[in-house]
Amino acid sequence: MNITGLIEQIQPLDQAAMRAARGRQNQLTKPAGSLGRLEELSIQLAGIQRKPLPAIKDKAVIVMAGDHGVTAEGVSAYPQEVTPQMVLNFLAGGAAINALARHAGARVVVVDMGMTNEIDTSRFKRDLLIRRRVGAGTMNLAQGPAMRREQAEESIQSGIEVALTEISNGADILGTGDMGIGNTTPSAAIACALMKLPPEKIAGRGTGVDDDGLQRKISAIARGLAVNQPNADDGLDVLAKVGGFEIGGLAGVMIGAASKRAPVMVDGFISTAAAMIAVTLAPQCREYLIAAHRSKENGHALMLEWLGIKPLLDFDLRLGEGTGAALGISMAEAACKVLSEMATFSEAGVSQVVE
């Protein structure tokens, strides 16, 4: 299945299921609408899953890793070796995403989309790392295209395949997560390219660069946009010129999930940049996306507005890895449980509003 064929399969949300869910919300023993965002979420999930009573039981957070040539510009507070070190930490279960995914009852699916070096996973009894390496890190986007167009296509194709595998394994919802030292820079560059905004409106401190680092980052993005001239109408062109392998992979996850009517809990800044690529390629996948949170990173709120999705949490998170998505998945599950487990007024013998 090529990407275009799959995109054509994405259906709008099921209005009948959404009407049924809304109707039931109004019959449950509470004032209509009094559970706010949880009610809205349950109705969206009904439309996505095409079920009046959507269910979230099998949960997966897909964490995609990649390296970035633009780190040569001094855009990150951390050295590039941290990407593979953190991937090993994910596999060992010691990272924030592991703790939060366990809390949400979600499994963590770790994908090497193209770190600079292959990693040695021989110390693990079971090698759970999925290898979909598109390359050994991207090129420096400040000097030219981050990757070739075929690589952009491959990264999306790989993300689609990972999503389809998880869904066929039973996942009811996919969360997105990322790891890649320097990847707030390509993410900001994607947002600038698609929103036609200057880098200083979008770029932030990422994992914690100082003032000089932030200036280097803004300069790298500005040079990258000038040298590459990405075409905002062409998601693949933007991804290839200023993106990253894990960002393309996450965009693919979103497209793949939407094609199978599975909701996607979008994490923070990097995942939101991936969502912008996904929606540029496949506008109809937008309705399948749920924004887990508004991160502390500059520009994230603008990116969510551009997408037209409203974040659930506002926790000043700026870690990535899918940490916000894990928290959001738990909220989505809660929303489904309210809809399916609560008694109606007539079942419980509770009087309704005096008219």
Residue 93 neighbours by CB under 8 Å, 6+ apart = none
* 119 lines the binding site for a copy of itself (CB under 8 A): no
- Return the residue matching tokens 């905004």: 197
> Is 323 a binder of a copy of itself (CB under 8 A)?
yes
305 binding a copy of itself? (CB under 8 A)? no
> Residue 18 Cβ, how far from a copy of itself at the closest point, in Å?
19
Q: Which is nearer to a copy of itself, 17 or 104 (CB)?
A: 104
For the beta carbon of residue 168, count every other beta carbon within 10 angstroms: 9
CB of residue 244 vs a copy of itself: minimum separation in angstroms?
19
118 noted as active-site residue: no
Contact between 16 and a copy of itself per CB under 8 A: no
Q: Is-contact 146 231, C-beta < 8 A?
A: no
Smaller CB distance to a copy of itself: residue 194 or 329? Answer: 329
Q: Is beta strand 130-131 parallel, antiparallel or unpaired with respect to 106-114?
A: parallel
- Nearer CB in complex with a copy of itself: 135/324: 324
- Quick check: 122 binds a copy of itself (CB under 8 A)? no
Least Å distance between CB 79 and a copy of itself?
6
Nearer to a copy of itself, 77 or 197 (CB): 77
Q: Which is nearer to a copy of itself, 29 or 121 (CB)?
A: 29
Residue 9 contacts a copy of itself per CB under 8 A: no
- Total of residues contacting a copy of itself (CB under 8 A): 59
Judge whether 20 and 45 are in contact, CB under 8 Å: no
Please pick, from the candidates 12, 123, 226, 353, the single residue that binds a copy of itself as defined by CB under 8 A: 353
Catalytic residue from among 321, 333, 347, 355: 321
Which of 274, 289, 258 has its CA nearest to residue 155? 274
Residue 347, interface with a copy of itself (CB under 8 A)? yes
Q: What angle do CA 133, 220, 74 make, to 5 degrees?
A: 75
The interface with a copy of itself within residues 148-207 (CB under 8 A) comprises 207
Among 36, 126, 226, 233, binds a copy of itself (CB under 8 A): 36
The DSSP call for residue 27 is T
Dist. CA 116–CA 92, nearest whole Å: 20
For position 318 contacting a copy of itself by CB under 8 A, the verdict is: yes
Q: How far is the CB of 332 from a copy of itself (least distance, A)?
A: 11
d(CA 38, CA 172): 17
Task: Work out which of 112, 153, 178, 333 binds a copy of itself, going by CB under 8 A.
Answer: 333
Build a one-symbol-per-residue string for 99-118: x at contacts with a copy of itself by CB under 8 A, - elsewhere.
Answer: xx-xx---------------
DSSP 148-209: -HHHHHHHHHHHHHHHHHHHHTT-SEEEEEEE-TTTHHHHHHHHHHHHT--GGGT---TTT-
The neighbour count for residue 108, using CB atoms within 10 Å, is 23
Closest CA to 143 of 225, 75, 237: 225
Tokens 């509470």 -> residue: 30
Which amino acid makes up residue 311? P
The footprint of a copy of itself (CB under 8 A) covers: 28-38, 77-79, 81-82, 85-86, 88-89, 92, 94-96, 98-100, 102-103, 207-208, 296, 312-319, 323, 327, 330-331, 333-334, 337-338, 341-343, 347-354
Q: Give me the active site residues, please.
A: 321
